[in-house]
Structure 1
Amino acid sequence: MSAKNIGSESRVSVLVDCDNTSPEILEFALRVVAQFGRVVLRRGYGNHATLANKWQEALVRLAFTPCLQYQYAAGKNTSDIALALDAMEAMFDERADTFCLVTSDSDFAYLCRKLRERGATVFIVGEAKSPDALRNASDQFFEWVPPAKLVPSAEAISIAPSPKEVTKSESPKKEDPKPVGKQRPKFVVEAVALLTGDTVEGKIALSPLGSYLRRSYPSFSPQVYGHSGLLDMLRTYDLLALEQEANGHWSVKVTQKE
């Protein structure tokens, strides 16, 4: 799906097979699906042993609803059935028309096919171990790789304090506030690269880029990073190039400059 479709009002459901993947995949999945529409359902499925510790922290922090499924018999996984039933119910109730299944389990290939037969769009976010049967059953497969390179992107969003934190950290003394230095979080470049990856011209307008960034990071604001606006922010990146279109609007693309 191209970047020009970002502004559509697709209702996205993100359903996570917690028993067969890692909690570190969640943030990547949300960044991927933010380009396709508004996420209306966030659910994580697993047994009592899975939905604890790291999974509990990740689900709570990223506003997912945990769906606990007990094992009624040894060796029987009920989470898969619960996920599949909820996906079909959301489609028939018209609560969602786009589905992102976060899993590497080939058992969900049939669910993907049934959803697509009914007109839904299906994306899979999985690991390298995901079999071809699962990859080919979706409209698009996004492979999550857990290298150390993904860590700076997540950390970049937290280096600048939120407006509430700025207020709390102000000195009780009446001193002139120090100017905030302009910062360049890495995830902005990653967002431009992701959204322009399948476009012919390799660029994206600022309006859909801003919408994507706000969907990926609800607290995102150029002002938090010391910029007057998104255009001012993008001008500080060596890896990005801005172009003004004939209609006066601006677009941005990734360059090969270091």
Structure 2
Amino acid sequence: MAEYAKQGDRVAVLVDCDNTSPEILEYALRVVAQFGRVVVRRGYGNHATLANKWQEALVRLAFTPCLQYQYAAGKNTSDIALALDALEDLFDHRADTYCLVTSDSDFAYLCRKLRERGATVCIVGEDKTPDALRNASDQFFEYQKPEAENAKVGTAKKSKKRPKALIAAVSLMAAESAEGWVGLGALGQYMRRTDPGFSPQKNGYGGLLEMVESYPGLTTRRDGGGHWVQVKEKAE
């Protein structure tokens, strides 16, 4: 997401406390630290949520609790409050980049409206996050619970994947190049734009270069301080 957000951006972190757990909060702050200064920190939820499991985390990490009472059973007023506050912050020029901490696809429309107005939007959510929300953001960051992370460490080498979308992206971008070479950085940006949840690590690799080099149909070279990728058929 570094290509979208600038280091001097003002960042708003808005948390859907009714939809996720407090453990995700520190991960979200680590994610957005690279994008700029966090100027807005708010956690939205009903009384049962904010007064119990979320109270310690919100206080310790200096978040403003935004309590929303449920006026009728089954109605979630917190979502509406979060969306209205996000738009108000945008119109008042309080923030340039938004991090929504949620796995609720109801926020997909909010993401689209923020981006239409020029804001950068990232989502920090769990594995259950629907594609509709992932793809509505500039970049999706998936939070893995500690036990899940530990379980994946032992299986990472066995679960390496080579999605066809990557080689298709190289072919498409190479068509715009006279010699058919694609910059590795530009390839990474393209992949994240087409799939906000794209990550070499999720596919079992340490980085994009390692991932690209695993494709039999691709060749790489180093030139000018950077790496370049080409379809082998083009190279031949």
Band of TM-score, shorter chain: 0.5 to 0.7
Aligned to 2:93: 94
* Partner Cα separation in structure 2 for residue 4 and residue 56 of structure 1: 33
Q: Does 1:37 align with 2:36?
A: yes
Task: Indicate conservation of the 8 Å contact 1:3/1:35, yes or no.
Answer: no
Moved more, 51-60 or 61-70: 51-60
Three-state SS of the structure 2 residue aligned to 1:19 is coil
| Native 8 Å contact 2:5 2:120 kept in 1 | no
Match of 1:77 in 2: 76
CA contact (8 A) 2:107 2:133 kept: yes
Conserved 8 A contact 2:2-2:35: no
CA deviations 1:145-166 (Å, max 9, x no partner) are 0024879xxxxxxxxxxxxxxx
Answer yes or no: is the 8 Å Cα contact 2:4–2:120 preserved in 1: no
Question: Any gaps of 5 or more consecutive residues in structure 1?
Answer: 152-198, 201-258
Deviation of 1:129 (Å) = 0.1
Identity %: 82
Distance 2:149 2:52 in 1: 22
Cα distance in 1 for partners of 2:15, 2:84 equals 13
Corresponding position of 1:120: 119
Matched residue SS, 1:73: coil
Check if 1:146 corresponds to 2:145.
yes
Measure the CA separation in 1 of the matches of 2:14 and 2:41.
6
C-alpha separation between the residues in 2 aligned to 1:150 and 1:43? Answer: 27
Alignment of 1:40-55 (within 5 A): 40-55=39-54
Deviation of 1:2 after TM superposition, in Å, equals 3.2
Q: Which amino acid aligns with 1:74?
A: A
Give the counterpart letter for 2:122 in structure 1. F
User: Offset of 1:4 from its aligned partner?
Assistant: 11
* SS of residue paired to 1:20: coil
| Backbone CA RMSD of aligned residues | 1.9
Report Cα offsets for 1:81-117 as digits up to 9, x if no partner.
0000000000000000100000000000000000000
The verdict on how the C-alpha distance between 1:107 and 1:140 changes in structure 2, with shifts beyond 3 A counting, is same
CA contact 1:51–1:68 (8 Å) conserved in 2: yes
2:218 aligned partner: none
1:15 matched to which residue of 2?
A: 14
